[in-house]
Structures are given as C-alpha cells and as structure tokens.
C-alpha cells in the first residue's frame, strides 16, 4: 500500500500537485501529535486553493449537488456576520472571525481538492497510518505519565477531548482504507486485530467519555451497514458488547463512566431547585442546554452571536431561572445547541445541511457507490456523536479543520464517482 502511495505521489508532475498530496496525506497523521500542524496545513492548502481559484481556467464543471452544498457553507458564514452585526460587533466577534472564516474558505479548498483524483487515496492512506503514529505517541505519553504524573490522561498535543474523539473518528474511517487496500490481502488480515487494539488503547486511556460514546455508536452503525446476514450482525454486536464490558473493568473507564452517570442523575434530581444544582461537568452541560430556550425565544432566527452567551444569560441567572454556575461555560458543549444559541434557527438548519446533506446524496446514489455510502454514513455518525458533548467542530480551529477536510474529500470523491457512472 505504501509503495502504491509513493508511486502515486511520484507520478504527480507539478510541485503544487505534490504539495497538495502531502498535505492531504500528512494532515490526519500529524494533527494530533504535532502542535499547530492542523492550522499550518489549513493555511497552506488555503493559499494554494485561492491561487488555484484565481489562476486556473479549465476547472471541472460543478454538479448541481456541489453548487447547493457550497452555497450552504457561504450562507453559514453569512449568518455569523449578520448575527454579529445585529447583536453588536465586539472583540469577541473579531476573534471568532478566524474560526468562522474557515467555513467560507471551504469553498476554494473544496474546488481544489475535487480537481485531483488522488485526493481520496492520499487522505485515506494518512488516516490508515494515523492510528499507529498516534498510538506510539500515546504510548510514550502513557509511560511518562505513570513515571512522573500518576493518573493523568492522554492529552496528545492538545487535550483528551481532542485526541480521544479524533482517534475514534480515524479508527472508524479506517474501514474504507481496509476495504480498498487490505481486505483482499489475506496475509495481512491478522494486522487488523493489532490495528484495532492500538486505536482502542488511545481511546480508552484518553479518558474522553465522548470518545467512548463515538467509537461504540459508530461501531454499531458500521456493523449494521456492512454486514448482510443476521448471524454476522448478532456476532458482531456480541463482540462489541464483550469489548465494552471488558473495557469497563479498567478503573479509569469505570470511574469516568460512573461519574458521568452520577452527574446526570444528580442534575435531574436538583433541577427543580436552581440553587441546588452542583457545578459538575455533565450538570453544567445539561443546564446550558436547558437554558438555550431563553436565547431561542428572544433571538429565534440568527441567535445571540458567538461568545455572547454569558452576558446574555446573566439576567436569567438574576431571576433565578438558571444556575449561576453556567458562567463557567464558554461553549454549549453540544454542536447543535451551540448553533441554535449563536446563530439561531437559520444557522441550525444550515449546520444540519453541512452535516447531513452529504448523507442524503450518498443514500440517493448508494446503488452506484455503496462503499461511498458506507464511508459517509460512518463519518456522519461519528461527527454527530462527537457533537453531543462538545461544540469544537464549529468553534475550535483544529476540529473545524478535521470537519472540513473530511467533508471536502468524502463529498467530492463520492460525487465524482457516482456522476461518472451516469456517463
């Protein structure tokens, strides 16, 4: 596989093509283990894409589905601008412009990626190699933590909430690379067990409950899509249950899971008396989600603007309607609720299209490219699960980069493949 990738890289004649190839290949490998490389890759490909947009005249014509999708990203950025202006532009909106502009820059980046037939192969080769690389980095960190920082979770170069879910996403998406490059090579089948074990090590010892949720839910969906017989579905589901039960025996998994259940239970017992609500991780998430009703009632269409939640919610805290502890939350920790709060119903609908329009198109054309359908369905499931407990996919530049790179590669390659079969 690596030989094929190297030959594909060598066959590119222009330096710009080789550079795009390397960016797509290295992005999933370097992102979690080298600080600031996500931003570096994004800026680099953005510059190439803008240059390409200005200078290249013979671009492939856009299909109708692509035009609709690109308009969604443009409008999503416009909602941010409108909401910021309506609610009063401040230094917070200036700071958030860096993140939000990435959704606008998705357009030239998408136009660049769709031009190259190697885009998907380069990207998925990087995904396949990312798990061993992240594992080696995590193993070093794990040993170091045991020697010098007992009970500390794996953080990668950023945090557990980044490396854990990203490892879960990469492990799930590796199925595509397995299907294309490894499935028919029987001598390499045994490598799959080691590969999955490395991925699970990263996820488990990241102590990121969102990663646990993502890998379990994603694995179940993937199982039910790819297996045909009921017997295989039952066997696969039994294996997932066995792995979950075995993982729960590990102290850090048990402690993190039990704490989450305790937090949720306590919150629902305390919510009738605002003053009794404790400042816990899950409790504050649930309280912010509950309080989002107030921002939606006052600003139903374009929201209250990015970063304005704490100032907005203060009057409801003073009225005793919301726990005072929510002021410690700088984000909703739920992508969908974050969109409702900051961008209102319009932004929320556009976000749903960013997440689920590719899934709709993949379902529509699944008879022409079932592997594309499986891959996009798996990705959509993963980002949905990742979004339930965190909103980084729309407000943290590293996570936004993952969302946009994956989306551009998956959607463009799927459209090109299904449209070729129409000719």
Q: List pLDDT tens digits, range 207-216.
A: 999 999 999 9
pLDDT tens readout for residues 138-161: 999 999 988 888 767 899 999 999
Q: What is the mean pLDDT of residues 15-32?
A: 93
Residue 260's pLDDT is 95
- 70: nearest Cα among 106, 114, 42: 106
Encode pLDDT of 229-279 as tens digits: 999 999 999 999 999 999 999 999 999 999 999 999 999 999 999 989 999
The answer to whether residue 423 scores a pLDDT higher than 60 is no
Q: What is the pLDDT of residues 61-112, one digit of tens each?
A: 999 999 999 999 999 999 999 999 999 999 999 999 999 999 999 999 999 9
- Alpha-carbon torsion 8, 11, 17, 18, what sign? positive
Q: Which of 144, 149, 256, 142 is nearest to 202 (CA)?
A: 142
Residue 185 confidence class, pLDDT cut points 50, 70, 90: low
* Burial (0-12, 13-18, 19+ Cβ within 10 Å), 35: middle
Q: Other C-beta atoms within 10 Å of 74: how many? A: 13
Least confident residue range of 61-75, 91-105, 173-187, 385-399 = 173-187
- At 420, the pLDDT band (50, 70, 90 cuts) reads confident
The confidence score (pLDDT) of residue 8 equals 77
Phi, psi dihedral angles at 272 (to 5 degrees): -70, -20
In this prediction, residue 183 carries a pLDDT of 65
Contact call for residues 164 and 210 (beta carbons, < 8 A): yes
Find where tokens 């030989």 sit.
3
pLDDT per residue as tens digits for the range 325-352: 999 888 899 999 999 999 999 999 999 9
pTM summary value:
0.95
The two structure tokens encoding residue 159:
């945090």
């Amino acid at each position: 596989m690596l030989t094929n990738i190297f030959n594909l890289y060598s066959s590119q004649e222009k330096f710009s093509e080789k550079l795009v190839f390397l960016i797509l290949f290295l992005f999933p490998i370097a992102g979690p283990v080298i600080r600031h490389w996500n931003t570096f890759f994004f800026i680099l490909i953005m510059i190439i894409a803008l240059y390409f947009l200005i200078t290249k005249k013979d671009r492939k014509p856009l299909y109708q589905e692509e035009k609709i999708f690109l308009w969604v990203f443009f409008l999503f950025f416009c909602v941010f601008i409108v909401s910021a202006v309506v609610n009063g532009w401040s230094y917070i909106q200036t700071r958030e412009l860096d993140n939000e502009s990435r959704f606008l820059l998705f357009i030239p980046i998408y136009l660049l990626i769709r031009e190259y037939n190697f885009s998907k192969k380069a990207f998925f080769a990087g995904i396949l190699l990312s798990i061993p690389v992240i594992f080696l980095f995590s193993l070093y960190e794990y040993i170091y933590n045991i020697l010098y920082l007992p009970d500390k979770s794996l953080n990668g170069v950023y945090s557990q909430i980044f490396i854990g879910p990203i490892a879960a996403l990469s492990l799930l998406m590796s199925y595509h690379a397995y299907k294309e490059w490894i499935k028919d090579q029987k001598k390499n089948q045994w490598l799959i067990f080691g590969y999955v074990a490395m991925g699970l090590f990263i996820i488990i010892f990241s102590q990121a409950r969102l990663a646990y949720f993502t890998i379990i839910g994603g694995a179940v969906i993937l199982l039910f899509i790819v297996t045909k017989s009921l017997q295989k579905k039952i066997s696969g589901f039994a294996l997932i249950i066995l792995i979950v039960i075995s993982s729960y025996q590990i102290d850090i998994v048990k402690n993190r899971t039990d704490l989450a259940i305790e937090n949720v239970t306590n919150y629902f017992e305390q919510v009738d008396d605002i003053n009794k609500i404790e400042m816990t991780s899950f409790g504050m998430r649930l309280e912010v989600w509950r309080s989002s009703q107030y921002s939606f009632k006052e600003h139903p269409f374009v929201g209250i603007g990015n970063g304005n939640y704490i100032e907005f919610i203060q009057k409801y805290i003073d009225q005793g309607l919301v726990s005072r502890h929510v002021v410690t939350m700088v984000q909703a920790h739920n992508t969908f609720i974050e969109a409702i709060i900051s961008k209102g119903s319009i932004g929320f609908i556009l976000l749903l299209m960013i997440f689920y329009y590719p899934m709709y198109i993949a379902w529509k054309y699944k008879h022409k490219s079932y592997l594309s359908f499986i891959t996009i369905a798996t990705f959509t499931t993963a980002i949905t699960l990742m979004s339930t407990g965190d909103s980084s996919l729309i407000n943290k530049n590293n996570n936004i980069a993952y969302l946009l790179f994956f989306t551009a590669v998956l959607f463009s390659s799927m459209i090109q493949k299904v449209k070729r079969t129409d000719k």
